[in-house]
Amino acid sequence: MIRALLFCFFLTQLLFGYSYDDLVLKAQSSIFPKIMLLDKEIKNKLVNNKIIYTIVYDEDDYQTALHVEEDINTAFKGHFDKYPYEITLVNFSHLSPTIKTSALYVLKSSKENIKKAANIARQKGIVSFSYDVNNLQYGLLFSLHIEKSTLLYLNKEYISMKKIDFVDLLLQMVKFVEKNGAVV
Amino acid sequence: MKKGKFESLSFKIMSSIVITSIIIIIGIFLAFEKINKKAFYNVEVQKATLILKTIEPVVAIDIYLDMQSKIRLLLKQLIQNKDILSIKILKDGATLYVVKSKNKSESLFIVKKDISQPNSQKKMATIELNYSNHNYKQLIKKYNKLLVVMLIIMLIIFILLSLYIDKLLKPLKQIARVLKGFSPEKKIQMEPIKQNNEISLIVSALNEMQKKICDFTNKQKDINIFLEEEVNKKTKELQAQLFKDDLTQLPNRKKLFNDIEHSKHDAALLILNIDDFKEINDFYGQNAGDYVLVEFTKRLLHFFEEEKNISLSRLSGDEFSLFFEHKPSHRTFMKVVNRLTKEIEKMVFEYEQSEIYIRVTFGGTMDTDEMLEKADIALKLAKEQKKYFLLYDAKLDVKRQYKENMEWVKKIKSAIKEERIIPFFQPIFDAKTQEPVSYECLIRLIDTDGSVVSPFKFLTIAQKSKLYPQLTKIMIEKSCQYFQHRETTFSVNLSINDILDVDMVAYIQKNVKKYGVNNKIVFEILETEGIDNYEEVSSFILSMKRLGCKISIDDFGSGYSNFEHILKLDIDYIKIDGSLIKHLDTDVNVQIVVETIVSFAKKLNLIIIAEFVHNQAVFEKVKSLDIERIQGFYLGEPEKEILEN
């Protein structure tokens, strides 16, 4: 029995671990909210004077979403800088343009779901973060990857977005991703 | 270096330039040192600050996003800069990151900058940059090197400048050297300078000046020679005049002094004086006098023509000297005197149809000390003694007397000036009552030590020195003044000369009136002097008696008293001479004479006064002769003040 439980645990861990890098998740949990605050238009994106940080997940990634929420809460403890925040977990199936949020953090999903989330974010003029760098080619804005050092990736299309205005320095330190997914 | 070098113009110019330049350089150096070092420092500070400013936003966003690897990479890159010693990022006092350089340079300063959150100005951390002095030192080193180069260049410029100035002024030194050898007699050759500058002008001016000086010197030399000749000529003339008498052309008194001085104590001197020469001048006129003197000189010169030992001089108007250069024997000396006397007696001087004869008196000395004085004394004595010649003899002792007389004259003059001539008053007593009825005012000189000097010591000298009238005047005024307010008579002595002196008589009258003593004063006229001018004396007595004064004949019986003439004088008193009274008690002859005088006086109703009553015996004798008034030490001595009841 014990052997069976240990096997299940390792299997789950193997599956989960295969899908998401815990280190990356932690890094993204601590950096993405800060990048969101580098948007000069952040004030206009408050919902009831709060920042709503929405984590969009597939059904299978619910645990990962919770894990991310926990990491964020551990890192920021209720406030992104001077703004109070609220983390909402939204399944791709429940994601609609009416959603009231300040930013989207998109976990792995199908191409269509990713595009859907990217469109909603673009329509609402909010910042969207992607766990997977490759998903930036479908319209998401930011991503982060850990190689020799931590690298930030930004969808080049962002430049044409009117409602988002990052501090210039941020643009100096990111790597731009072309529409076809090529890194510049 | 020689002292002259320091004083040279080139040295002074150069040293002035150098000193001024050094001051300026030091000033500039100090200013530059301060400004530049500060500027260099500021540049480094600005550089460090700029670095911090540049990296701060990047570091800020890296810290913000917690991208530590990026921060380390950035710091690693920064530390490659040689000027940065270390970089620290501090947060709340704790060091977040620190990178240190291997560079061994010293720290110049540390700059700090706050790191703010990118989307707000909230402070996140502090970046601290320790900046090395490497670059700063390099700059200072370069700067100092530049300064040293500048100084060396300036030093070279100064050396070249001094050489140039020295070269410029060199001709002046040459001129000075040449001029040192200049003298009006020796013309110097100054080479003309080709350049047309100030030095060539100086050379040209000096050549011109030299020419003028030489011309002037030559003229001056001629003038000096001429003047020297003239001065020598005039000196000789003056020397001749100095020792020569103008009228007779004989050597003068000065020459005689000179001869005596060089006589070596082996000489003799004879002075001759023309008797009564003044009469010749007065009678025949000055020209006749001069003629006689000139002719007399000629004849004397002729007389001594062959006498080489004798030189003739004219001492004063009518006085000549014969100087024997070598002392002759007494016999020869007398022989010369006698021969000359006889020769002069024969001399007749014809002047405008008049024949003038002269007589001379000789005074001589064979004593070589103070020859002129001694010969002069001998001459005066010969004149006094009416002798034609007298040889000076020490026994005469006249020299001392002369000296004493001269001292007395001085004493009298000073006593007059200092009012030390005063009257003393000797009482004259009534023989019966023995009370003082009158006082005789007797002259006294108070010496400088306060002692009282009797008149016999100075009156004769006063008469000789013509000071006597002054003494009489003093006595008149002081006596009249003294008795002005006293109810007693007093007598004052007058000499015949006083009476004959019109001014004196006027003075006496004035004072008698002034002090109102006309009824108190008695004038005692000295009979001893011999009254010759009875008419004048009588006139004086008359005028005085008109004023109410009384007259007395003093020292009556001492001279050759002319009773007849005395009778004619309207006198009131007769004072019998003291020399008679003195021996009255012992000498019978004197008693007879005094009795005669008393008898004579009584008949004329004259009051008789006996003076010099010096003892009891004389006093008794005087009284027995019925003499009314008595005066003498026995009864009362002369005193400064009279005793008043």
Q: For position B178, what pLDDT does the model report? A: 79
> Nearest-CA residue of chain A relative to B65?
A31
**Rounded CA gap, B48 and B257, in Å?**
117
Q: Which residues of A touch B57 (CB under 8 A)?
A: 169
Scan for tokens 């992607």, then name that residue.
A130
B15 pLDDT band (50/70/90 cuts)?
confident
Q: Tell me, what amino acid is at B199?
A: I
Tell me the nearest-neighbour CA distance from A36 into chain B, angstroms. 10
Average pLDDT over residues B113-125: 85
Global pTM? 0.40
B2 pLDDT band (50/70/90 cuts)?
low
| CB atoms A169 and B118 under 8 Å | yes
Helical H segments across B94-182, by residue range:
134-180
B405 pLDDT band (50/70/90 cuts)?
confident
Tens digits of residue pLDDT in B544-578: 999 999 999 888 876 545 666 676 788 899 999 88
B44 pLDDT band (50/70/90 cuts)?
confident
| CB atoms B118 and A81 under 8 Å | no
Tens digits of residue pLDDT in B600-618: 888 888 899 999 999 999 9
**Rounded CA gap, B317 and B506, in Å?**
37
B640 pLDDT band (50/70/90 cuts)?
very high
Which of B54, B62, B64, B121 to mutate to test binding with chain A, by most A CBs within 10 Å of its CB?
A: B64
Tens digits of residue pLDDT in B473-515: 999 999 999 999 999 999 999 988 888 899 999 999 999 999 9
Q: For position B645, what pLDDT does the model report? A: 58
- Tell me the pLDDT of chain A averaged across its residues: 85
Scan for tokens 């979403």, then name that residue.
A65
Angstrom CA distances, B542 to B499, B531, B548, B551, stand at 12, 16, 10, 10
Domains and CATH numbers, chain A: 22-177 (3.40.50.2300)
**Rounded CA gap, B444 and B447, in Å?**
9
Tens digits of residue pLDDT in B270-319: 999 999 888 888 888 889 999 999 999 999 999 988 888 899 999 988 99
Could you tell me which residues come within 8 angstroms of residue B368 by beta carbon, excluding any fewer than 6 positions away? B263, B265, B266, B267, B327
The helix, strand and coil proportions of chain B, stated in percent and rounded to the nearest 5, come to 55, 20, 25
Between chain A and chain B, the number of residue pairs with CB atoms below 8 A apart is 42
Which is nearest to A25 in space by CA: A143, A126, A139, A114?
Answer: A143
**Rounded CA gap, A104 and A118, in Å?**
9
Tens digits of residue pLDDT in A153-162: 998 877 667 7
Tell me the nearest-neighbour CA distance from A1 into chain B, angstroms. 44
DSSP for residue B120: S
Could you tell me which residues come within 8 angstroms of residue B7 by beta carbon, excluding any fewer than 6 positions away? none
Q: For position A5, what pLDDT does the model report? A: 46
Q: Is the pLDDT of residue A105 over 90?
A: yes
pLDDT cut 90: percent of chain A above it? 59
Q: Are strands B629-630 and B607-610 parallel, antiparallel or unpaired?
A: parallel
The gap from C-alpha A75 to its chain's centroid, in whole angstroms, comes to: 15
Which helix (H) or strand (E) segment holds residue B537: the answer is helix B534-547
> Nearest-CA residue of chain B relative to A30?
B65
Q: Tell me, what amino acid is at B76?
A: K
| CB atoms B119 and A149 under 8 Å | no
> Nearest-CA residue of chain A relative to B60?
A169
Higher pLDDT, B150 or A128: A128
Of B57, B66, B73, the CB nearest to A31: B66
CB B392 within 8 A of CB B364: yes
**Rounded CA gap, B516 and B512, in Å?**
6
Domains and CATH numbers, chain B: 3-154 (3.30.450), 184-241 (no CATH), 253-395 (3.30.70.270), 403-630 (3.20.20.450)
Phi, psi for B189 (deg, rounded to 5)? -100, 115
Angstrom CA distances, A105 to A32, A125, B332, stand at 8, 14, 179
Q: Are strands A127-130 and A142-146 parallel, antiparallel or unpaired?
A: parallel
